[in-house]
């Protein structure tokens, strides 16, 4: 009888020791399952949905379109500016080439006009005093300005007369015509310091009043 009681006590003690171990295993297992569930939820929440992916792609596309649109706008503005500059340049050139009718100086003039002529340049330096002798720098540069105003080569045109028109000799009038042409021009020119002679007015004559 005593032996039976001892065996029962041992079995009872053994069962008591097993129970904490069993509960510990269950707790650990439950904790592991909870950790797995939490990880799965986190992964699923981080993964973008189909709508989110579509929205992201649409946003990327919209940004790309905006960038492209800005580039297109910039290119268009540059092209418009270049076109505007070209048109302005053409208008300026056209204005320079256009004639402006003016009053003739006498009854021998059938047409009188001015244009925006540029000074022809000069080789002269220092204080300028106009000379009217054939072959001088003034003579040659006056013919250059006069011929250029009417489209004649100063080397081949015929100079009929160059005369002082006042302003201390710094205003002149040159009567010229083209080689073998009866058409005669009276060209007014003025001296511009450092820049040479500049045509200021052209008169197309009815008759060459300087031809002897």
Kindly state whether residue 211 falls inside one of the protein's structural domains.
no
Burial class (CB in 10 A: 0-12, 13-18, 19+), 143: buried
Q: Indicate the number of domains in the chain.
A: 2
Residues 125 and 69 in one domain: no
Q: What are phi and psi of 108, to 5 degrees?
A: -85, 5
Residues 105 and 174 in one domain: yes
Kindly state whether residue 163 falls inside one of the protein's structural domains.
yes
Q: How far apart, in Å, are the Cα atoms of 39 and each of 27, 28, 32, 45, 79?
A: 18, 16, 11, 10, 58
Q: What is the pLDDT along the chain (212 residues), one digit of tens a residue?
A: 545 444 445 545 554 555 556 666 776 777 777 777 777 777 666 555 555 555 556 666 566 666 666 666 656 667 766 777 767 655 555 545 689 999 999 999 999 999 999 999 999 988 999 999 999 999 999 999 999 999 999 999 999 999 999 999 999 999 999 998 999 999 999 999 999 999 999 999 999 999 87
Residues 44 and 125 in one domain: no
Q: Which residues pair with 164 in a beta bridge?
A: 172
CA dihedral 84, 89, 92, 96 (to 10 degrees): -160
Residues 57 and 145 in one domain: no
Give the structural domain span for 152. Answer: 101-205
């Amino acid at each position: 009888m005593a032996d039976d009681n001892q065996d029962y006590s041992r079995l009872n003690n053994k069962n008591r020791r097993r129970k904490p171990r069993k509960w510990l295993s269950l707790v650990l297992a439950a904790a592991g399952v909870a950790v797995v569930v939490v990880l799965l939820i986190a992964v699923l929440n981080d993964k973008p949905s189909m709508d989110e992916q579509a929205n992201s792609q649409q946003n990327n596309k919209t940004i790309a379109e905006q960038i492209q649109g800005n580039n297109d706008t910039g290119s268009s503005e540059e092209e418009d500016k270049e076109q505007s500059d070209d048109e302005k340049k053409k208008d300026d050139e056209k204005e320079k080439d256009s004639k402006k009718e003016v009053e003739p100086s006498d009854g021998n003039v059938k047409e009188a006009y001015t244009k925006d002529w540029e000074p022809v340049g000069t080789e002269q330096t220092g204080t300028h005093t106009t000379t009217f002798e054939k072959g001088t720098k003034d003579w040659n540069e006056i013919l250059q300005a006069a011929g250029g105003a009417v489209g004649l080569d100063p080397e081949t045109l015929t100079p009929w007369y160059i005369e002082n028109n006042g302003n201390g000799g710094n205003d002149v009038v040159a009567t010229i015509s083209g080689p073998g042409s009866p058409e005669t021009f009276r060209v007014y020119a003025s001296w511009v310091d450092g820049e040479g002679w500049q045509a200021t007015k052209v008169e197309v004559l009815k008759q060459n009043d300087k031809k002897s």
